[in-house]
Structure 1
Amino acid sequence: MASDLSVILPRVLIVSRRSVRKNKFVDFVGEYHLDLIVGYGALPVIVPRVSGVHMLLDSFEPIHGVLLCEGEDIDPSLYEAETTNLSPEELEQIRRLHASDTAIDKEKDSIELRLAKLCLERNIPYLGICRGSQVLNVACGGTLYLDIEKEISNKFVESQRVKHIDYDNYDGHRHVINVVESSPLHHWYKDSLEEGKMEISVNSYHHQGVKRLAQRLVPMAYAPDGLIEGFYDPDAYNPEEGKFIMGLQFHPERMRQPDTNQFDYPGCPKAYQVFVKAVIAYKKKLNITTSVPKPMKLNQEMKNKRKVIQWSFSLARNMFTTGQELHPSKESELKAGAEFLQCNTALSFQQKNRLEQIGATVRNGGSYIERLQLNEENERQAKNVMGKMSIEQLSDLLSFYHMMGQICSEVLERKLNGINCQ
Structure 2
Amino acid sequence: MKPVIGIPTFVDEAEKYNKCSLYEDYPNAIVAAGGLPLLLHQHDCEENLLQMIRLLDGLFIPGGADIHPSFYGQEPARGCSACSMARDVFELALVSLARERGLPLFGVCRGMQLFNVALGGTLYQDLPTELPESLAHWQPGEPYDLHHGISIEPGSRMERLFGGEKSLVNSTHHQAIKALGQGLRVTARAADGVIEAIEGTQGAYLHAVQFHPERRVSRDGACLALFEDFVHACQS
Normalised by the size of structure 2, how large is the TM-score?
Answer: 0.91
Residue 269 in 1 paired to residue 224 in 2?
A: yes
Amino acid at match of 2:219: Q
Q: 2:187 aligns with which of 220, 225, 229?
A: 220
Paired residues for 1:214-293 under 5 Å: 214-236=181-203, 243-255=204-216, 261-263=218-220, 266-281=221-236
- Larger radius of gyration between Structure 1 and Structure 2: 1
SS at match of 2:28: helix
Deviation (angstroms), 1:52: 3.0
Q: 1:167-217: per-residue Cα shift (whole Å, max 9, x none)? A: 445443511111111101001111xx4xxxx32111111110100011310
Normalized per residue, the structure richer in helix is 1
Give the distance between the partners of 1:54 and 1:106, measured in 2 at CA: 16
Aligned to 1:116: 95
CA contact (8 A) 2:124 2:175 kept: yes
Amino acid at match of 2:10: R
Give the distance between the partners of 1:54 and 1:207, measured in 2 at CA: 32
SS at match of 1:272: helix
Paired residues for 1:165-244 under 5 Å: 165-172=138-145, 174-190=147-163, 193=164, 198-236=165-203, 243-244=204-205
Change (3 A) 1:231 1:244: same
Q: 2:119 aligns with which of 140, 144, 159?
A: 140
Bigger RCO (CA 8 Å, 6+ sep): 2
Amino acid at match of 1:213: L
Q: 1:149 aligns with which of 128, 132, 153?
A: 128
Unaligned runs of 5+ in 2: none
Change (3 A) 1:22 1:150: closer
Aligned to 1:31: 24
Amino acid at match of 2:225: K
Paired residues for 1:74-89 under 5 Å: 74-82=67-75
Give the distance between the partners of 1:18 and 1:110, measured in 2 at CA: 13
CA contact (8 A) 1:14 1:47 kept: yes
Residue 58 in 1 paired to residue 36 in 2?
A: no
Aligned to 1:357: none
CA contact (8 A) 1:166 1:173 kept: no
SS at match of 2:18: strand
RMSD: 2.1
CA contact (8 A) 1:174 1:201 kept: yes
Normalized per residue, the structure richer in strand is 2
Overall identity of the aligned pairs, in %: 30
Task: Indicate the larger mover: 25-34 or 134-143.
Answer: 25-34
Deviation (angstroms), 1:22: 4.4
Aligned to 1:19: 12
CA contact (8 A) 1:129 1:251 kept: yes
Normalised by the size of structure 1, how large is the TM-score?
Answer: 0.52
Aligned to 1:317: none
SS at match of 2:177: strand
CA contact (8 A) 2:33 2:224 kept: no
CA contact (8 A) 1:72 1:103 kept: yes
Deviation (angstroms), 1:23: 2.6
Give the distance between the partners of 2:62 and 2:196, measured in 1 at CA: 15
Deviation (angstroms), 1:267: 1.2
Change (3 A) 1:107 1:55: farther
